[in-house]
Homo-oligomer: A and B are copies of this chain.
Amino acid sequence: MTTRRVRAKRGEGALLREEILGAAEELLAEAGTEEALTVRAVAVRAGVSTPAVYLHFAGKEALVEAVCMRVWGELGRLFRDNSGGDPWLALGRCARAYIRFALDHPVQYRVLMMRPSGSPGVPPAAAEAFGHMVDAVSACMETGVVAGDPEEIALGLWSALHGCASLLIAQPSFPWPDREALIDRVVRVAGFGTALYSRLPRDLPPSDELAARFDALGAELAAGEDQSSP
C-alpha cells in the first residue's frame, strides 16, 4: 500500500501541484504513452485521492501538457549554450542540440509536436522551438552568405530537423543503419540547404544538367573540405 500524503499547510496548497507533476512525469516515462497514463495512477503515486488532481489541473489533457512543457525550458538553455562564436558553426551545433533534445525526451516531444493541437492558437512549444531556429538563422544572415526571409528559411531547417527527430522517435523498430550518422547527415544537408537557399535553382534540373553543374560544384566543395579537415 502507498503512504498517504500529509495534508499541506495553509497557503501551501500549490505544493501538491509540483508533486503531481513529478508523479505524472515518472509515470509518463514508464508508460511511454500519454494514453497509458492514468489520472488515478498519478494520484496514487502522489499519495492523494484522484479528484485532488483536478484541484490543480483542468483535466488530464492539461496535466499531460504541463508535464511536457516542464522540460521544454531545457531546449532554450541548449540553444543559448550553443549560440556563441561563428554563426554557421553555431547553427550546426544548435541543430544537433535540437535533435538530441528530442531524443532525450521522446515522450514529451511526441506529445507536444506530433499531435493535433488540442487548443486553438499556436502551441507554445512549437512557437518557442521555431523562435530559436529563426534566431540561429538570423545570425547566419549577417554573415552575408545567405539572403531571404529568416522565418521562411528557418521553416525549412526546422522541418528537416523535426523530420529526423520524429522519425527516430516514432519508428524505433525501424532498422536504422546508424542513428548518429543519420543525424549528422540531416544536420549537414539541412545546414547547407539553409546556406544555399537563395542560390538554389527553383527546382531539380534533369540529370544531364545536374551532372554538368555538379562537376565544377563538387570540385569547389571538395577543395574547401580538404583545407578545413586537416
Contact = CB atoms under 8 A, between A and B. Distances in A.
Interface of A: 32-33, 35, 86-89, 91-92, 110, 113-117, 120-123, 126-127, 130, 140, 143-145, 149, 151-152, 155-156, 158-164, 166-167, 169-177, 181-182, 184-197, 199-207, 209-214, 216-218, 220-225, 227-229
Contacts of A184: 202-203
Given A182-B159, A216-B220, A88 B206 contact: yes
Contacts of A227: 209
B87 A207 contact: yes
Name the prevailing secondary structure of the A interface residues. Answer: helix
A190 to B, nearest CB: 7
A120 to B, nearest CB: 6
Nearest to A218: B199
Nearest to A227: B209
B213 A221 contact: yes
Contacts of A143: 207, 210-211
Nearest to A87: B207
B163 A159 contact: yes
A110 B117 contact: no
Copies of this chain per assembly: 2
B116 A114 contact: no
B206 A217 contact: no
A218 to B, nearest CB: 4
Q: Which 6 A-B pairs have the closest CB atoms?
A: A163-B163, A189-B193, A201-B225, A199-B218, A143-B207, A114-B114
A149 B185 CA distance: 13
Contact of A192 (B117, B182, B204, B225): B204
